[in-house]
Amino acid sequence: MTKGEKVKIGLMGLGTVGTGVVRLLRAHEAELMAQTGMRLEIARILVKHPEKERSIYVPPHLLTADPEELLEDESIHVIVEVIGGIEPTRTYIEKALKKGKHVVTANKDLMALYGAELLKLAAEKNCDLFYEASVAGGIPIIRTLVESFTADRITKIMGIVNGTTNYILSKMTEEGISYEEALSEAKALGYAEADPTNDVEGYDAARKMAILATLGFHVGIHLEDVAVEGITHVEKTDINYADALGYVIKLLGVAEREEELTEVSVQPTLVPKSHPLASVSDSYNAVYVYGEAVGETMFYGKGAGELPTATAVVADLVAVVKNMKLGVNGREQVFPYHKKKMKEEDQIFTRFYFRFTVKDQAGVLAKITNILSQSEVSIAQIAQYPNQETQEAEILIVTHHASKKQVNQAIQTIGGMEEVKKAHSLFRVLKV
């Protein structure tokens, strides 16, 4: 390719992120030309309704409802996919790669489920398939894992990777409002969808953690390998008790690899107030990466939104164009090469927080501590809050390091006690 030559782009989708991509390509045309030596031009845009009025002006002749006008056009070099969903998007990307077109996508759902096979196809066709925008919006975490940690061995990836749930928990913590009130605010601001299940049940974060763990550990992690628990059972009471104990509750993704054994989970976690993740509020994301050589590193920024996500898309687009000039497309794909061995429950050790409502009578606390002792679960913190009106008491316990299996067995036994009215919560406590 010669300097000043056009690189034609087929844009699939003109929603929030697609609009951001168009804005950035227009606003930064000179800078992108200086960086790449090429003119980046959107040649066609796939939309459902070409006649629809939009927040940004696009010449009508660029719009089409027919994907074949992008996929069959030999002059289009790169497909930028920001439609989302699995099908027909997967089919579009497969066809684009088979046609020799490079692909930039923001589709975490697709990459979490079919990333490995799509990356393999891209490599076979000498095509780039980049997906920086699929995780943590504008935070360049994927490229960092692929390039910056090449000479290091990553042992742990941990962080807040869903802005919606972080916003809800932040509001519950800072303003003392209920989960339902915080969710309503998140919907009003556009942080949460009309059906927020994907976010609040932890599935969105789980897909992102599967992608990060696969890249970081070179192990093929699938969505079903991730232990997932959302925030729908986090109550104001838990947030208040956590605060009294010196913690903040966050929905934390944790991926850890020790001696060829891997654990990946997403669950509400008590984070010490002294830890940097405790201060990550609103819809921001933050990812910690632990390397054997470099130690701890943290990446922080907006995890979603039109321009942060579009920035990641355009950065990938620039990388594709630079590779085109050098003739090295398709050589940056990362494939899992370690055998997957997931940890069993008796191999997962951490600290835990749990809370019970019990009859306020003598001997109950002693019975609970005895059950924990028999399960070899050591107590780090314990508190009891009696309610004279109901003749009940709240008991909350923070353990020392114990296996997930031991704690689950103890919780089941305690929950079966006649004196226990309800078992409320079981959350991880961040080990520092």
pLDDT digits 0-9 by tens, 319-378: 999 999 888 887 776 777 789 999 999 999 999 999 999 999 999 999 999 999 999 999
Contacts of 335 (CB under 8 A, 6+ apart): 116, 119, 120, 123, 218
β-bridge partners, 127:
none
E strand or H helix at 213: helix 203-217
pLDDT tens figures, 237-251: 999 999 999 999 999
Say yes or no to pLDDT of 4 above 70: no
Q: Tell me: pLDDT of 283 over 90.
A: no
Mean pLDDT of 49-77: 94
Percent of the chain with pLDDT over 90: 76
Residue with tokens 């079919």: 114
Rounded to an integer, what distance in angstroms lies between the CA atom of residue 371 and that of residue 411? 9
Which residue carries 């959350």 as its tokens? Answer: 427
The beta-carbon contacts of 26-35 under 8 Å, at least 24 apart in sequence, are 28/314, 32/314, 32/318, 33/4, 35/318, 35/322
Residue 383 has pLDDT above 70, yes or no: yes
Residue 29: per-residue pLDDT: 92
Convert the pLDDT of each residue in 108-151 to its tens digit: 999 988 988 899 999 999 999 999 888 877 788 888 888 888 88
Q: How far apart are CA 408 and CA 405, in angstroms?
A: 5
Cis upstream peptide for 88 (omega within 30°): yes
Residue 303 has pLDDT above 90, yes or no: no
77 band by pLDDT with thresholds 50, 70 and 90:
very high
Query: pLDDT digit string (tens) for 212-222?
Result: 999 999 998 99
Q: What per-residue confidence (pLDDT) applies to 5?
A: 83
Give the pLDDT score at 360. Answer: 92
Q: Calculate mean pLDDT across residues 221-242.
A: 94
CB-based contacts of 150: which residues, under 8 Å, 6+ apart? none
Confidence of residue 2 (pLDDT cuts 50, 70, 90): low
pLDDT at 425: 87
Q: Which domains does the chain show, CATH number per domain?
A: 6-137+306-326 (3.40.50.720), 153-302 (3.30.360.10), 347-429 (3.30.70.260)
Q: Mean pLDDT score of the chain, rounded to an integer?
A: 92
Measured CA to CA, the distance from residue 224 to residue 209 in angstroms comes to 12
Catalytic, 120? Answer no
Q: Say what the pLDDT of residue 3 is.
A: 59
Q: Distance (Å, rounded) from C-alpha 326 to C-alpha 318?
A: 13
Find the distance separating the first CA and the last CA of the chain, reported in whole Å: 51
Q: What is the mean pLDDT of residues 89-106?
A: 96
pLDDT digits (tens, 9 = 90+) for 140-190: 888 888 888 888 899 999 999 999 999 999 999 999 999 999 999 999 988
Q: What pLDDT score does 363 carry?
A: 92
Average pLDDT of the segment spanning 192-204: 92
pTM, to two decimals: 0.88
Please tell me which residue in 108, 125, 156, 208 is annotated as part of the active site: 208
pLDDT at 235: 92
Predicted confidence at residue 1, as pLDDT, reads 55
